[in-house]
Chains A and B, each alone.
Chain A
Amino acid sequence: MTALLDCEQLQVRFRTEDGEVCAVNDLNLQIEQGECLGIVGESGSGKSQSVLAMLGLLAGNGMATGSVRYRGREILNLPRTELDQLRGDRLAMVFQDALSGLTPTMRIGEQLTESLARHRGLSRAQAKAKVLEILEIVKIPAPETRYNAYPFELSGGMRQRVMIAMAMLCQPELLICDEPTTALDVTVQAQILRLLDGLKRHTGTAIILITHDLGVVAGLCDKVLIMYAGRAVETGSTRDIFNNPRHPYTAGLLRSVPSLRGDISADLHTIPGQPPNLEVLPAGCAFAPRCEQAIAACQLSAPAMLPLGGGHAAACHRIDAT
């Protein structure tokens, strides 16, 4: 069966004053209909750039190579006119900062009906009815009033609901959310997560959720991809990743997160050192300088993804040995 989205050997590079920087390297991922994939990583891990590349949204100095197939059709580096047929319709995206995703001088209603007119050719009245329906679904109180409001009149949580409504209007098959709740308060975050969970269950929309929050991933995602310094280091079902992490970075990350239940008498586990500078990546495994299990081989070559069964895979030279 062809995956809904199949990304192979994706590489993203940026030209900078100091030469070329490779932000994403040899990334492979698949997502099926109705699935929720979490992409987890710290700043500079390439988690956002990889999805921006898939949707053709890289900054001007960025280049993507490799292959991204949507239902078997190659979409990487398609001309803009062709991409625009897919974006906002079959493939939609929600960004972290909802305010900059909305046009400040346009009423909410106008912004929302735009994509319906463009992709579905609906009349004004039809589009408005559809928009009010979707505002209801994303639980915006008094949708008729909000329809005529400007973005600045809405709170942060409300704007993020509008962004999700906008993304869901044409019933996309894939919704990509880049840190959708990071800027929100915890009680509002809970509402938005509940909303995304409901969309996944009731519409069959596949979701790629980019986040640094392992709690959000555990609550919402079916499978997880962990990235470090532009590469995938581990992927698997959410249970495999949380209960049986095999890459030392994944294991270290999970142990360093304070939780509401963990032991508080001992120090938190830490991963020593700093995330690497992408401009001067070490030869070999990028995590090796911070890895307590590193051996000589780790300095020499970047480890390949090793399948561990059941869709679980990790890229670490030590996996055979341990």
Chain B
Amino acid sequence: MSEPVLQVDDLSVHYEVRGGGFLGRGRQQLKAVQNISFELRAGETLGVVGETGCGKSSLGRAVLQLVRPAGGRVVWQGRDLCSLSNKELKPVRKDLQVVFQDPLSSLNPRMTIGEIIGEPLRIHEPELSTGQREEKVAAMMERVGLLPELSRRYPNEFSGGQCQRVSIARAMILQPRVIVCDEPVSALDVSIQAQICNLLRALQRDTGIAMIFITHDLSVVRYMAQRIMVMYLGRLMELSSSESFFASPLHPYSRALLNAVPEPDPDRPISSYGEPLGGEVPSPMAPPSGCVFRTRCQHATPICVSTVPILEQHADAHEVACHHWQRLADTGENQ
């Protein structure tokens, strides 16, 4: 097992939200991420999965300090990023990059593709001459499957898939050590999604970059990640090697998620799927006490109401936060 490049301890993200009270002037606290710990190892992809509002994007942003966490630590090369000022963070940002979901809106429409990809170089390696920079940009464009002669075009002339290649080129040009990809293929057509997944896998193979891959799509994450983290309402439910997770998911929520994925198999009609999970995700403004999943869990008992489950070790690389995981695994009830 390779060494951790990034260590996240007890990370929490809170937002102040307007609303409630007279004329909505009150302020409430939304706890988007609560007490999450994990490590990211060199060369691996950690897949973070969960539904809308589970805090997966906030987690990714907090790791990069794009939102400042309310508590916890993000240790990078012996330093806690949470304690650094924005100025002190600048050199660190060179090593920690991000790719967002919406490819077109994350590119400046008034800059050419070449300028967009070269901008990080202009900021972080100002000693490079224009010629040197253009050379690097051209090489990077080629690497992500864009013709270098397109460098003088503007983003609006590009398709969604091409724009996502531009975003990836911009993120990779400084040769970062960690990249956070937040739903990078969710807005793309099926045939293009596969191209971008393959590109990210190839870049990781070539550079050994560590990746946090945030998605709601379990089929995609299975293909992309070696380890899987499942989140629900800001909390970590299960953290496991991908192999162990897909072979034997332990948390009732993980099981429900996997059961709900429609498989492209005509011999598996919807009617043959297990009973879908009832209800919907409660409001993150007022999460349930104890285990946040208990309101939708058919195995919930009084302890789930009173006590937040801690992450327990099942196997070497498989942890789960559920009061009943052992019993459910033993009795096979959690099928």
A interface residue numbers (CB < 8 A to B): 42-43, 155-158, 185-191, 193-194, 197, 201, 212-220, 238-239, 241-243, 252-254, 256-262, 264, 267-272, 274-275
Distance between Cα atoms of A193 and B160 in the complex (Å): 28
| Residues in A whose Cβ lies below 8 Å from that of B216 | 185-186
> Closest CB of chain B to A203's CB: distance in Å?
15
List 30 A-B residue pairs with CB atoms under 8 Å apart, sorted by A's residue number: A42-B189, A42-B190, A42-B191, A42-B192, A43-B160, A185-B281, A186-B260, A187-B260, A187-B276, A191-B276, A193-B262, A197-B271, A213-B262, A214-B264, A215-B219, A215-B262, A219-B268, A219-B269, A219-B270, A243-B266, A253-B190, A257-B190, A257-B194, A258-B220, A258-B222, A259-B265, A260-B263, A272-B195, A274-B161, A275-B191
Cross-chain pair count, CB within 8 angstroms = 140
The answer on a CB contact under 8 Å between A270 and B194 is: yes
Known contacts A253-B190, A259-B219, A260-B218; A242/B264 CB under 8 A: yes
| Residues in A whose Cβ lies below 8 Å from that of B324 | none
CB < 8 Å neighbour of B280 from A43, A188, A214, A253:
A188
The answer on a CB contact under 8 Å between B280 and A257 is: no
> Closest CB of chain A to B162's CB: distance in Å?
7
> Closest CB of chain B to A193's CB: distance in Å?
5
The answer on a CB contact under 8 Å between A264 and B280 is: no
The answer on a CB contact under 8 Å between B198 and A268 is: yes
B interface residue numbers (CB < 8 A to A): 51-52, 159-162, 189-195, 197-198, 201-202, 216, 218-220, 222-223, 246, 256-271, 273, 276-278, 280-281
Which 9 residue pairs spanning A and B have beta carbons closest together?
A215-B262, A190-B260, A42-B189, A185-B51, A190-B276, A256-B194, A219-B270, A271-B191, A268-B194
Distance between Cα atoms of A214 and B266 in the complex (Å): 10
Distance between Cα atoms of A189 and B52 in the complex (Å): 12
Distance between Cα atoms of A269 and B246 in the complex (Å): 21
Listed residue (B262, B265, B277) with the most chain A CB atoms within 10 angstroms of its CB = B262
Distance between Cα atoms of A42 and B188 in the complex (Å): 9
Interface residues of A: mostly helix, strand, loop or mixed?
Answer: helix
The answer on a CB contact under 8 Å between B190 and A275 is: no
> Closest CB of chain A to B200's CB: distance in Å?
11
The answer on a CB contact under 8 Å between A215 and B261 is: yes
The answer on a CB contact under 8 Å between A260 and B258 is: yes
> Closest CB of chain B to A178's CB: distance in Å?
16
The answer on a CB contact under 8 Å between B277 and A256 is: no
Listed residue (B195, B277, B280) with the most chain A CB atoms within 10 angstroms of its CB = B280
The answer on a CB contact under 8 Å between A190 and B277 is: yes
The answer on a CB contact under 8 Å between A187 and B268 is: no
Closest to B269 in A: A219
The answer on a CB contact under 8 Å between A218 and B263 is: yes
The answer on a CB contact under 8 Å between A218 and B266 is: yes
The answer on a CB contact under 8 Å between B189 and A43 is: yes
The answer on a CB contact under 8 Å between B263 and A252 is: no
CB < 8 Å neighbour of B197 from A201, A215, A268:
A268
The answer on a CB contact under 8 Å between A242 and B257 is: no
Distance between Cα atoms of A43 and B192 in the complex (Å): 11
CB < 8 Å neighbour of A258 from B189, B194, B260:
B194
| Residues in A whose Cβ lies below 8 Å from that of B246 | 260
Distance between Cα atoms of A253 and B160 in the complex (Å): 18
Further contacts, 4 of them, CB under 8 A, given A186-B260, A219-B269:
A188-B51, A188-B280, A262-B223, A270-B191
> Closest CB of chain A to B141's CB: distance in Å?
16
Distance between Cα atoms of A215 and B260 in the complex (Å): 11
The answer on a CB contact under 8 Å between B264 and A187 is: no
The answer on a CB contact under 8 Å between B263 and A215 is: yes
